[in-house]
Every structure is written in structure tokens, then in C-alpha cells.
Amino acid sequence: LTGQLMMHRVLVSTCLLGERVRHNGEHKQSHDSVLQRWLREGRVVPFCPEVAGGLPVPRPAAEIAEAAGGLSVLSGTGRVLDVNGRDVSAFFVAGAQQALEYARLESIQVAVLKEGSPSCGPSFTYDSTFTSRRVPGQGVTAALLRQAGIHVLNEFQLAEANRILTQLHQEGGS
């Protein structure tokens, strides 16, 4: 590097960037000013664990069975089932592992992921009844990234994510 600190990059759910990668072929683009600035600065590393894990777009909606949470899926005790009852856990675990590998490759310490997603949800997912009933807990990718010490926030916590980046910059870590 040319004498300046490395710019901290942020892993961001691709759907938040306007890419149509969600199960229904839609996106959840965020127009938040913090995210827009990160894009201009070249900080954003887009990633969709479900697509990376091998799932198509569109695809049947999926939820973590019995609201067991992402850690249970990672440990093999929980499952992710699609609306047709098909076990798609392996795709979710593969995508989470690729997200972690990518984050390590890019020295990423902060991730902003789509809330509510069975992959990405940092603080809630849905209860596996496909009735939009929220349950506290994290998605598979959010759980794995947190386990690895990465700060995982949702699209409504961009200001907090920015504060963490600023703190990391001041500490001089990469």
C-alpha cells in the first residue's frame, strides 16, 4: 500500500444493491445515503449466499424449520425447508461457507445483510409456517459470519455499521 491505511470493505447482501436475486426474482434495494457513499468509495463487496450456494432465481421460498435458527442448520441439527417441504439446507450451508471464505479473502470485518432472510437475517427470520410470522434468531450466513467474529448488521443499521468501520479505521487494523 502507498502509505495509507487499507480501506475497510463491507460485505453487502446483493438484493440490497438492487440485484434481482431474491426467491421471487425481486430485490430489496436500499437507497440509504451511507450505502450510496460506500458504493462510490468502492467499499461494497456484493454477495448473495443463496445464489452462491447454488439456488436458482426465482426459487421456492424457504424458511428455517421450527424456527431453530442458523446455528442449528450449521451444526446439522436444524434444516432449511422450502415451501414445498424440500430440504435445501445444503445450499444454505454452502452459501454461508462461501460468504465466510469471501469475507476472509477480502479481510472483511463488517457485513450488512438482509433482515428476515433465512440466510442473511441478523436478528430475525420467519417461523417456517410461511405466514410472515417473525421469530428472533439469525439466518445461516449471519450465524456463520458472527461465529467468525465479523460484525453483522441489517439494512436498517447502516449508521451503526459505518461507526464500526470508522472505529476499525481509527484502530488502524486491516
**Which amino acid appears at position 52 of this protein?**
A
What is the per-residue pLDDT for 2? Answer: 41
User: What integer pLDDT is reported at residue 1 of this predicted model?
Assistant: 38
CA-CA-CA-CA torsion for 128, 59, 152, 161, nearest 10 degrees? Answer: -120
Q: What is the pLDDT of residue 173?
A: 53
Of 155, 135, 125, nearest in space to 62 by CA: 125
What is the pLDDT at residue 123? 97
Q: Which residues in the chain come in under a pLDDT of 50? A: 1-5, 174
pLDDT digits (tens, 9 = 90+) for 87-136: 999 999 999 999 999 999 999 999 999 999 999 999 999 999 999 999 99
Residue 4 has a pLDDT of: 45
The C-alpha cell 450451508 sits at 93
Angle separating helix axes 140-147 and 89-105, nearest 10 degrees: 40
Alpha carbons 125 and 135: distance in angstroms, whole number: 6
Cβ distance 126 to 89 under 8 Å? no
Cis peptide preceding 58, ω within 30 of 0: yes
Helix, strand, coil tally for the chain in percent (to 5): 35, 15, 45
Can you tell me the distance from the alpha carbon of 102 to that of 107, in angstroms, rounded to the nearest whole number? 8
Does the predicted model carry a pTM greater than 0.75? yes
What the block records as the C-alpha cell of 57 is 432465481
pLDDT of residue 6: 64
